Amino acid sequence: MTSCASDESDVEHARLVADVFARACESRGVLEHITGRWGTLALAALHEGPFRFNALRRKVDGVSEKMLAQTLQALERDGFVHREAQPTIPPRVEYSLTSAGEAVAVKLRDLIEFVEAGLPGVHAARARYDEAKSGRAG
């Protein structure tokens, strides 16, 4: 079984013992939380600043209440999101990024910007692919 680091303070040590390609490594689960559709979008949205739950849900268009709640819980557990509940009536809960969440969100924003800027190329590649496939099928 491959060892896998979980101590955030020792990044160099983590590089030596974490192996995302190993089936048993915890880093796979963390990577899944970050790079899943809703995790990526929630982290990128929170990079703009703190959000209350419903405001975040409106920002991340299409996410269900249940999926957003599960995503935020996983990201909070992994140390990327901070949840602050204020003892008011009605309760006010706000979500923000931790320092680890900020670091990840910066990289995700770069990836999102790359994807958005490259959409014309993706559309062209898809058209070429579809044309080639339809030519072979006929």
Rounded to whole angstroms, the Cα distance separating 38 from 20 reads: 20
Average pLDDT over residues 43-71: 98
pLDDT, one tens digit per residue, over 12-31 is 555 557 888 888 899 999 99
Please check whether residue 42 is in contact with residue 64, taking contact to mean a CB–CB distance below 8 angstroms.
no
Span 84-128, pLDDT tens digits: 999 898 889 999 999 999 999 999 999 999 999 999 999 999 999
Domain boundaries along the sequence of the chain: 1-25, 36-137
Task: List CB contacts of 84: < 8 A, sequence separation 6 or more.
Answer: 93, 94, 95, 96
Please state which CATH class domain 36-137 belongs to.
mainly alpha
